[in-house]
Amino acid sequence: MSSIRAIFSLAVVILVASPLAAEEARDVPARQLPLPEAASSDLRAMIQSGSMATWNDHPATADEWKAWVDKGAERARAALPILREKMGVTFEAGRIAGVNIFTITPKEIAPENRDRVLIHFHGGGYVLNPGEAGTAEAIMMAGYGHVRVISVDYRMPPDFPYPAAMDDALAVYRGVLATNDASRIGVFGTSTGGGMTLALVLRARAENLPLPGAIAAGTPWSDLQKVGDSYFANDSVDNVLVRYEGWLGDAAKLYAAGHDMRDPYLSPIYGDYHGFPPTILASGTRDLFLSNTVRVHRKLREAGSTADLVVFEGLSHAQYLFSADMPEAKEYFRELSTFFTAHLKS
């Protein structure tokens, strides 16, 4: 018995003492990824349909960017009337503090939500989904959550690079604060909208404004640079964004317009998370932004803030928004509704 212990001890010493081979990068053999069995049939069908056809488009001029964005916005707008009817919501355009907004109101507001309001920032890499095209997530949140939502149509490049979007976000937040208690205000968004949600809290705190009662950042674009393991590990695995080297990296440069991408108002992962309101984050195992999400979650936890993290099996970037009927979508909005109910003052 003593000889077995001696051999085991020697093995431990060898493992500890032996240096690992130095690696700057690891070559991973080509492999096939099976469909994730634990994902819903709806999500598996999305995975089987392949990558987004537009992921590797590279508009080169302002006019090309605008034409590219308009084409996508036209497709998005066409689906919205059916979605609004399905979700049982009304829809009204307006302005707050000079910024275009859309107010989405469910036909039935839950009793606990009568004095609450949610502010929504849409996704799209700071370039996509202008106007009504950016309201799908807000419509689903209002319908599933039975709560009033204000969706912000913030200005975007190529005409309005940074900091126009964040200036608009803060202006609307100030406007909503003028008539609502901060403890009854929630802020949410996905992708770019998730990054803007985090950056808004940083801006509001810097300007000594009361912070929202709770926030939700779905797969946030929290680092505009290609920093984070999943930018590499999920490269070409994510079938929505696919690779940073597609239009996404171009959009980051277009929006930043020469500013340091580590500025916390551009890449909020570099901000200070002490004193943040309760936050819920969501991502998926195949999401290019999975690291963007988990890095934020760790910073919130390290800062002592309340932070929940929801990770969906097999989900690529923001796919919970692609169909209101898919189980992952219903679970996403159920998670957000439960979180806001728990943390916003009624």
According to the model, what pLDDT value does residue 257 have?
98
According to the model, what pLDDT value does residue 21 have?
60
pLDDT in tens, 29-47: 888 999 999 999 999 999 9
According to the model, what pLDDT value does residue 290 have?
98
Quickly state the pLDDT bin for 10 (edges 50, 70, 90). very low
Percentage of the chain exceeding pLDDT 90: 91
pLDDT at 8 over 60: no
pLDDT in tens, 181-195: 999 999 999 999 999
Reduced to 3 states (helix: H, G, I; strand: E, B; else coil), residue 190 is strand
Alpha-carbon distance 310 to 283, whole Å? Answer: 6
Domains of the chain: 38-47+82-343 (3.40.50.1820)
Alpha-carbon distance 322 to 283, whole Å? Answer: 14
CA angle, 138 as apex, 117 and 204 as ends, to 5°? 50
Structure tokens at 296: 């934020």
The mean pLDDT value of the chain amounts to: 94
pLDDT in tens, 52-62: 999 999 999 99
Q: Are strands 117-121 and 185-190 parallel, antiparallel or unpaired?
A: parallel
Q: Give residues with Cβ within 8 angstroms of 29, minimum separation 6.
A: none
pLDDT, average across residues 211-231: 98
Alpha-carbon distance 84 to 91, whole Å? Answer: 8
Residue 112 identity: E
pLDDT at 2 over 90: no
Alpha-carbon distance 243 to 345, whole Å? Answer: 40
CB 288 within 8 A of CB 231: yes
Alpha-carbon distance 242 to 248, whole Å? Answer: 9
Beta strands in 184-331 (DSSP E): 185-190, 214-218, 279-284, 307-312
Q: Of 252, 303, 312, nearest to 282 (Cα)?
A: 312
CB neighbours of residue 110 within 10 Å: 14
Structure tokens at 305: 């803030």
According to the model, what pLDDT value does residue 5 have?
52
Alpha-carbon distance 188 to 122, whole Å? Answer: 9
Quickly state the pLDDT bin for 285 (edges 50, 70, 90). very high
According to the model, what pLDDT value does residue 31 have?
86
pLDDT in tens, 318-344: 999 999 999 999 999 999 999 999 999
Phi, psi dihedral angles at 148 (to 5 degrees):
-75, 135
